Chains A and B, each alone.
Chain A
């Protein structure tokens, strides 16, 4: 059974007239379940949201990772509102920018400085330019299939590019250290940086954790070859360790980029770096119309404080484990073997033998009819607002959805 989406659909029809495709990017309906998930959301609180048709959903996407502490978090919103009353954008930055930079530089163990922008892409692109400036080398290495943003050097789309956009970008399969070393040999003294996510979280495929020696070897080859190691912690940051995901995997990058969870839904990104890159960072121009947004910076400041005070990363890892194990148990009971790959705080669900994704898509469609916002092709997110009772309810509803799926497949 599908929930009523009349208002959502009407809004979408209006949007089609004035917005190409209606909704674009990773939240385009066609990238998920086009007719089963709501297209427009009215409001959200904790781990639940209401769509414009008044349906309540238990959410497992958390604004695609932007929400760490729960939607409309009272303390964060109050703190942000205090700043909002004073103003958000001025001719010059507000004092909160310095406070936030100090907070991040203190919390990220290797960081000696921090800069801010609005989106992950702003700073992943800036970071590779800082590395090029420092090393005076052109090439960048990334993992094949990894997502680092919307710029032409890395975006997952096809249009609007020329060959030159990627002529200096090299790729290796995640965890394939031999291939990485071969690339380094072939492009000796030409590689400026290696940019990687903490683990491999490509869409449309199970997540892949790093092998035991992956990060230490990557770190070593970077040091040996004078290459800048950039951690793209945009999606994962705050969900594995409150001091950055490198702490969870026990390595040290030279630059690290954060966004999504940093402001708990307020648009902000940050790049932190080691002291030896300070001069290069000053040479690569960085600015934007609203990048000094004091409201988002206030929200990020409070969000970081809460993460640290309540050990949020550990908390959501534990909640995610409870949820993933519960999901796997009901899947086993229904004879639908399910893998929840990746870390527990952001699991990617995949039914065994379902490489074409038909089964997970059907399951998520049925679950959507019960008010569960499960995405069939993207890792899910656990927030600290998910209570055990919420997770139990979701597991129970998912169990019902799996029973219906089995009946459907047998019919």
Chain B
């Protein structure tokens, strides 16, 4: 994939939304996913025709909770557009809720890690960083829960994130102590050096790969607007 410069921020935000919708869809909480499609003039479509934003407006929508979508697209694909808006609102509701549960945490983890894979797929600096780890698989989980989020290099030559079961064994594992610690992590309040040392998370396996994923995730957190 080619380097897309500053547009990587809106790409990361869009793919994070898609990942969150996918998680909700797999949990049967919504009827469909919000598939991302980048179209001309810096427009991004979420969930098919209807909900379409200029990339800068998408970032505003994520950050502030509201931005005008492209009205013409919404009018001509009204029902689909409204359905997509409702899914977007559902994602926002869950992620901005004070309640910490497995739904919120898995949504946040999957969507945050998808932001990191977007950086790894589209920015040459981060792409290079992960080049030597293409055979590796990281499993993120939370102790005593069934949450499993996998990060791996796919057969389509891109870094991907998925939930649930996976066909390969992990080469690295990162296990949060509990939902509360994981919630801190998705909100950018996890000390990656101190956390494992005080038992808030257990890291095992090939740590250099995890170290790089962690670094990229922190760059995403600094640069990409978040609902949290």
Q: Which residues of A contact B (CB under 8 A)?
A: 9, 12-13, 16, 20-24, 28-31, 34-35, 39, 158-159, 204, 355-358, 361, 377
- The complex places the Cα of A30 from the Cα of B172 at a distance, in Å, of 14
B1 at the interface (CB under 8 A from A): no
Within the complex, what minimum Cβ distance (angstroms) separates A200 from chain B? Answer: 15
Pairwise interchain contact A22-B206, C-beta atoms closer than 8 A? no
Within the complex, what minimum Cβ distance (angstroms) separates B11 from chain A? Answer: 21
Residues of B119-141 at the interface with A, using a CB-CB cut-off of 8 Å, are 129
- The complex places the Cα of A327 from the Cα of B198 at a distance, in Å, of 31
Pairwise interchain contact B197-A358, C-beta atoms closer than 8 A? no
Pairwise interchain contact A29-B204, C-beta atoms closer than 8 A? no
Residue among A9, A21, A159 having the largest count of chain B Cβ atoms under 10 Å: A21
B76 at the interface (CB under 8 A from A): no
Q: Which of B15-23, B49-57, B186-194 contacts A (4 or more CB under 8 A)?
A: B186-194
Within the complex, what minimum Cβ distance (angstroms) separates B90 from chain A? Answer: 36
Within the complex, what minimum Cβ distance (angstroms) separates A332 from chain B? Answer: 25
With beta carbons under 8 angstroms apart, the residue of A13, A159, A357 that contacts B206 is: A357
Residue among B191, B208, B212 having the largest count of chain A Cβ atoms under 10 Å: B208
Q: A30-B203, A357-B206, A358-B205 are in contact. Are A158 and B212 (CB under 8 A)?
A: yes
Closest residue on chain A to residue B211 by CB atoms: A158
Q: Top 5 closest A-B pairs, CB basis?
A: A21-B193, A29-B197, A356-B171, A34-B196, A34-B197
Residue among A16, A28, A30 having the largest count of chain B Cβ atoms under 10 Å: A30
List chain A residues, Cβ under 8 A from B164.
Answer: none
Q: Please, what's the 1-or-0 string for B41-54, where 1 marks a CB less than 8 Å from any CB in chain A?
A: 00000000000000
A-B contact pairs, 6 of them (CB 8 A): A9-B198, A20-B193, A21-B191, A23-B193, A35-B202, A356-B170
Q: A30-B203, A355-B171, A358-B205 are in contact. Are A159 and B198 (CB under 8 A)?
A: no
List chain A residues, Cβ under 8 A from B194.
Answer: 12, 16, 21-22
Count of B interface residues, CB-CB < 8 Å? 21
Name A's interface SS.
loop
B215 at the interface (CB under 8 A from A): yes
B5 at the interface (CB under 8 A from A): no
Residues of B84-136 at the interface with A, using a CB-CB cut-off of 8 Å, are 129
- The complex places the Cα of A30 from the Cα of B203 at a distance, in Å, of 8
Pairwise interchain contact B191-A16, C-beta atoms closer than 8 A? yes
B75 at the interface (CB under 8 A from A): no
B207 at the interface (CB under 8 A from A): yes
Pairwise interchain contact B196-A158, C-beta atoms closer than 8 A? no
- The complex places the Cα of A159 from the Cα of B125 at a distance, in Å, of 12
List chain A residues, Cβ under 8 A from B206.
Answer: 204, 355-357
List chain B residues, Cβ under 8 A from A9.
Answer: 198
Q: A16-B191, A158-B129, A158-B215 are in contact. Are A357 and B205 (CB under 8 A)?
A: yes
- The complex places the Cα of A39 from the Cα of B196 at a distance, in Å, of 12
- The complex places the Cα of A21 from the Cα of B191 at a distance, in Å, of 7
Closest residue on chain A to residue B208 by CB atoms: A204
- The complex places the Cα of A361 from the Cα of B205 at a distance, in Å, of 8
List chain B residues, Cβ under 8 A from A23.
Answer: 193, 197
Residue among A22, A158, A357, A377 having the largest count of chain B Cβ atoms under 10 Å: A158
List chain B residues, Cβ under 8 A from A356.
Answer: 170-172, 205-206
Pairwise interchain contact A30-B205, C-beta atoms closer than 8 A? no
Q: A158-B215, A357-B205 are in contact. Are A30 and B197 (CB under 8 A)?
A: yes
Pairwise interchain contact A28-B204, C-beta atoms closer than 8 A? no
List chain B residues, Cβ under 8 A from A355.
Answer: 171, 206
With beta carbons under 8 angstroms apart, the residue of B193, B199, B202 that contacts A22 is: B193
List chain A residues, Cβ under 8 A from B129.
Answer: 158
- The complex places the Cα of A15 from the Cα of B197 at a distance, in Å, of 12
With beta carbons under 8 angstroms apart, the residue of B171, B192, B215 that contacts A30 is: B192
List chain B residues, Cβ under 8 A from A24.
Answer: 193
List chain B residues, Cβ under 8 A from A358.
Answer: 204-205
Pairwise interchain contact A28-B193, C-beta atoms closer than 8 A? yes
List chain B residues, Cβ under 8 A from A13.
Answer: 198
Given contacts A158-B215, A356-B205, A357-B206, 8 further A-B contacts (CB under 8 A): A12-B194, A13-B198, A16-B191, A21-B192, A23-B197, A30-B203, A361-B204, A361-B205
Q: A159-B215, A356-B205, A357-B206 are in contact. Are A39 and B171 (CB under 8 A)?
A: no
- The complex places the Cα of A303 from the Cα of B122 at a distance, in Å, of 53
Pairwise interchain contact A31-B171, C-beta atoms closer than 8 A? no
Q: A158-B129, A158-B215, A356-B171 are in contact. Are A30 and B204 (CB under 8 A)?
A: no
List chain B residues, Cβ under 8 A from A28.
Answer: 193, 197
List chain A residues, Cβ under 8 A from B170.
Answer: 356
Q: Please, what's the 1-or-0 string for B207-221, where 1 marks a CB less than 8 Å from any CB in chain A?
A: 110001001000000
Pairwise interchain contact B197-A39, C-beta atoms closer than 8 A? yes
- The complex places the Cα of A12 from the Cα of B203 at a distance, in Å, of 18
Closest residue on chain A to residue B199 by CB atoms: A35
Residue among A9, A22, A159 having the largest count of chain B Cβ atoms under 10 Å: A22
Pairwise interchain contact A35-B193, C-beta atoms closer than 8 A? no
Within the complex, what minimum Cβ distance (angstroms) separates B9 from chain A? Answer: 19
With beta carbons under 8 angstroms apart, the residue of A20, A30, A361 that contacts B196 is: A30
Residue among A24, A35, A355, A356 having the largest count of chain B Cβ atoms under 10 Å: A356
Within the complex, what minimum Cβ distance (angstroms) separates A338 from chain B? Answer: 18
